[in-house]
Chain A
């Protein structure tokens, strides 16, 4: 089993749609969780951290389910500019790095 596994893509959605990505992790001791965005094989950029209580940043909502060992990312009112690959990242150490493992990424394409 892979340490971090994401929904296989690509996701093709129209502008304005709501889209959700899921990511599962195998190590129950994992402490830190993040969503990164990567454009056209450029370097990944942090989209948002994922907190135990769930958190929201504008149109983006992240959730963590420790019991089922998955995290999710919800994007509401999709924009053309949201087209990118979304990567989930899991670490064993809280906010302090350690072994940071990436999922394989889920590609999103938002169409007019």
Chain B
């Protein structure tokens, strides 16, 4: 199994540009998450989803949008990129039965100039 796959791994954006970070999991997990991690800081929850068609805001949702049309995919959209969105973005998923362990993608490093 591939687990959680994020693309792209690296991206440089100009201020005001838009982009989508893709996240796919092949473990049939119900819950999926998007976190951002700034240098020297912990992970901040942006959005999460408890299943297809259901999304909810996390701690820092402003400037982002998500959708969950299928169990597998949970894309994160940045509409008007700002330098404050320069960060490492992690997608993760979890199963509703089991240890409660989060499975992470390898991260997407985004720089906004």
Contacts and interface: CB of A to CB of B under 8 A. Distances in A.
The yes or no verdict on A and B being binding partners is yes
Interface of A: 3, 6, 32, 34, 36, 41-46, 49, 87, 89, 91, 94-105
Contacts of A89: 102
Tell me what chain A mostly uses at the interface: helix, strand, loop, or mixed: loop
Contacts, number: 70
Given A42-B106, A43-B107, A104 B90 contact: no
Among A3, A6, A87, A96, the one with the most B-chain Cβ atoms within 10 Å of its Cβ is A96
A100 B92 CA distance: 11
Contact of A96 (B33, B56, B96): B96
A111 to B, nearest CB: 20
A38 to B, nearest CB: 9
Contacts of B59: 3, 101
Given A41-B88, A44-B104, A103-B42, 9 more contacts: A41-B107, A43-B105, A49-B99, A87-B42, A96-B94, A97-B31, A100-B48, A102-B44, A104-B42
Given A87-B43, A99-B45, A104-B41, A46 B96 contact: no
Nearest to B98: A95
Interface in B48-106: 48, 50, 56, 58-59, 88, 90, 94, 96-102, 104-106
A2 to B, nearest CB: 10
Given A41-B37, A43-B105, A46-B102, A99 B42 contact: no
Contacts of A42: 106-107
Given A99-B58, A102-B42, A102-B43, A91 B100 contact: yes
